[in-house]
Amino acid sequence: MSNTPADAFEVVEATVSEVHAAMTEERLTAESLVDRYLARIDAFDDELNAVLTVNEDARDRARRLDERFEADGLVGPFHGIPVVLKDNHDTHDLPTTAGAVALSASVPPRDAFVVERLREAGAVVLAKTNLQELSFGVDTVSSLGGATRNAYDTDYRPSGSSGGTAVAVAANFATVGTGSDTCSSVRSPPAFNNLVGLRPTRGLVSRRGVVPLSETQDTVGPVTRTVGDAARMLDVVAGHDPEDPVTARGADAIPPDGYVSHLDPDGLDGARIGVARQFFGVHDDDAATEADATAVTAVVDRAVEAMAAAGATVVDPVDVVDLDRLASARVITHEFARDFERYLSTLGDAAPYDSLEEVHATGPVTPSVASRLDSGGILDVDTASVESNVGYLRRLRRRERLRESVLSRMVEDDLDALLYPPSRVPPVAIPDHQPFSEMNCELAAHTGLPAIVLPAGVTDDGLPVGVELLGRAFGEPRLFELGYAFERATDHRRPPERFGALAE
């Protein structure tokens, strides 16, 4: 490691604003910061298995940014900030694999929209992270990367599919990270790794250049250690993209003063929070035990008490939605093969295959994913006729009605947010699979409404638990106010003891 001013700068738990303050005070350079994070990856990732690919150009990129800083100061809001990307985000200079051996040599011709935005803001793409293969599941296991382990206990799952990013950010391998969320993926991995995760409103952030699972559910979101850094990242990546027309919905919804301006330490004072008790407790007795659910409920109940102590009015319980009707709006089976095929077509001559079926046939695909592909009917879907499938169209219409119903409940009860645990149970021990039936991901995924996950504390076994707040459409500013106030009032974020500061 080079002898630089960074010798006086501790990267563990460093935020974007702290990094920039150190740069401005000439205590830190972008290159030395990159060196620090790479040293942590070298030291710890053999145990965690969070990183798939390290960007060999990261140091050169940081050095160029240091030269620009000498001449012009900070070039943007993410100047010199090392970022890890979930490896389903297209990068023109690195493979984009979705964790699949079959895509291990696939280098897209251009960056994903969010990657373009981050680089334009001055970010350094440090590495790409492991994920549940093809984002299809909640364990974070892939044929290319194997199994990622929880940063707080390596015998346990980190959840998924963005588990590699969550573990990397939790273990301080980078300042911030990105994930994608189809159903749970930027919420349960942060919850299981003592982090903040944000699923934006559908239409706020472009999905162009992200390997898809479900066009009507997919979105990109920040994975960070603090609410402030999540707001800073959303300020960078939110915006209209003509190549993703759904972002026209959010074009006028971004606050003119940005999301960071909504970091209000008194944001819970006078707020009204509805506790959705129907999302507590075991959902499937064959998948989990009531004792597991009780451990999570105890932590989340303490979070509710903390919000009340900070000035919130708690409405408990609030009956939100019929759970069977919510589950009946699932469309991944209809959309997965179609949307994946469309993505491959965007790669042009760089596309290694033409369809999901070809990728699956080529193998190897991690067994839990291969089994679901074989048994779920996904490969039997006629991708050319999905849009005329009556059952599929009914499910999409059902989603509109679900969204209207949830928003109506929030208006009738004058609620700023609905509260529930992102997972009813804690992380499970490897090699067991994290039960999808206990994930509370569908309320946000099927309605397209925004949700933020915050560190809520730990179980008696020391496993992190998150609390999720679901807001109104394009209500991210209010969620940041609530989340920042809760963060300031509770200070639950702690780095994993096993992966602390490196010895000098």
Q: Which residues are catalytic?
A: 86, 161, 185
Tell me if 264 sits within 8 A of 312, measured CB to CB: no
Whole-number Cα distances in Å, 206 to 42, 84, 99, 107, 180: 33, 18, 21, 20, 11
Secondary structure of 144-179 as H, E, C letters:
CCEECCCCCCCCECCCCCCHHHHHHHHCCCCCEEEE
Give the 3-state secondary structure of residue 219: strand
Q: Give Cα 370 distance to the centre of its chain.
A: 23
How far is the C-alpha of 61 from the C-alpha of 31, rounded, in Å?
A: 8
Q: Which residue has the tokens 């051996």?
A: 101
Whole-number Cα distances in Å, 165 to 10, 17, 92, 315: 21, 21, 19, 34
The amino acid occupying position 305 is E
- Please compute, for residue 29, the number of CA atoms within 13 A of its CA located in the half-sphere on the CB side: 20
How far is the C-alpha of 82 from the C-alpha of 123, rounded, in Å?
A: 6
Question: Two tokens at 195?
Answer: 């982090």
Question: What is the end-to-end Cα distance of the chain in Å, rounded?
Answer: 10
- Strand (E) or helix (H) holding 223: strand 219-224
How far is the C-alpha of 199 from the C-alpha of 172, rounded, in Å?
A: 21
Biggest CA–CA distance in the chain, Å, is: 65
| Beta-strand pair 219-224/313-315 | unpaired
- Strand (E) or helix (H) holding 485: helix 476-490
Question: Two tokens at 407?
Answer: 């928003």
How far is the C-alpha of 473 from the C-alpha of 457, rounded, in Å?
A: 28
Q: Nearest CA to 495 among 15, 157, 82, 22?
A: 15
Whole-number Cα distances in Å, 308 to 208, 267, 311: 40, 12, 5
The dihedral sign for the CA sequence 219, 330, 448, 158: negative
The amino acid occupying position 90 is D
Tell me if 10 sits within 8 A of 33, measured CB to CB: no
The dihedral sign for the CA sequence 25, 29, 32, 33: positive
Question: Two tokens at 99?
Answer: 């964790």
